[in-house]
Amino acid sequence: MRLDKFITSDGRMSRREAAGIIRRGLVTVNGETVRQADFRVDPEADAVAADGRRILWRRNTYIMLNKPAGFVSSTEKGKTVMTLLGDEEGRPGLFPCGRLDADTEGLLLITDDGALGHLLLSPRRHVEKEYFFECDPPLTAEGFDILRSGPDLGDFTARPARTESIDGGAAGRIAVTEGKYHQIKRMVHAAGSEVTYLKRTKFGPLELDPALGPGEWRYLTEGEVKALRDAAGVTDETDRTGEKK
């Protein structure tokens, strides 16, 4: 793996910052200063330090993507969210944790941590997802009451949602703890309107980073991964290298 990529994998630095500290001679591999960003390191065997701080190899990868419209949340061939990941696209085991419709934008977690992903998506965990939506016609106060009470969608009854009306009901925020197919669009339909724009702004404890433009992504910080693990109720305390603490 390239040295600059290894350094950014713990989520503390951008690729550009990594290139900068490598150029300035602040990075060592097994105690030797290395100034080439494309120097190959073995993540399992080499000791890499930046400015004297040892960088621990991150066994799993956790990515926050600001999904643009027009991309499918899948690992299949075609115009998928995976094609937005640049060098990470081919990393074995990476998958989008949950699905956003092709025309939905916003926060998508992509990881190769299957166990955590599975827990976060489990209906039993009630992990909250928050969305911003625009709709036409504007939702009435009664419409918001329907969203809040949890409408019957035919094949299931949605759990009560948290909502906020924006612009007189022409837009709103809604937070749900389920992730059924087209759930928000169907709930808004049941409340008397149609979604014209949908963006996920939160996934459990994660908030969409406002610095990420559509199609941009970054690694999660250690704190964000810990918060996700807490939200998923992970009790097996293992550190980022996979070692028991």
Please identify, among the stretches 5-13, 19-27, 53-61, 179-187, the one whose residues bind ligand URA according to the rule CB under 6 A: 179-187
Interacting residue with ligand URA among 23, 35, 126, 182 (CB under 6 A): 182
- Interatomic CA distance for residues 40 and 28, integer angstroms: 12
User: CB-hemisphere CA count at 13 Å for 134?
Assistant: 6
Interacting residue with ligand URA among 46, 101, 209, 222 (CB under 6 A): 101
Shortest separation between residue 142's beta carbon and ligand URA, angstroms: 21
Which residues, 6 or more positions from 16, have their beta carbon under 8 angstroms from its beta carbon? none
* Residue 101 annotated to the active site: yes
Q: Would you count residue 183 as binding ligand URA (CB under 6 A)?
A: yes
Interacting residue with ligand URA among 58, 67, 185, 218 (CB under 6 A): 185
- Interatomic CA distance for residues 53 and 30, integer angstroms: 12
Q: Which residues 104-133 are close enough to bind ligand URA by CB under 6 A?
A: 104
- Interatomic CA distance for residues 8 and 212, integer angstroms: 16
Count of Cβ atoms closer than 10 Å to residue 180 Cβ: 14
Is residue 187 a contact partner of residue 180, using CB atoms and an 8 Å limit?
no
Q: Would you count residue 163 as binding ligand URA (CB under 6 A)?
A: no
Q: Which of 101, 155, 167, 230 is catalytic?
A: 101
Q: Would you count residue 198 as binding ligand URA (CB under 6 A)?
A: yes
Q: Would you count residue 18 as binding ligand URA (CB under 6 A)?
A: no
Q: Would you count residue 209 as binding ligand URA (CB under 6 A)?
A: no
Q: What are the CA-CA distances from residue 191 to residues 168, 194, 203 (Å)?
A: 15, 9, 23
Name the site residues for ligand URA (rule: CB under 6 A): 100-101, 104, 182-185, 198
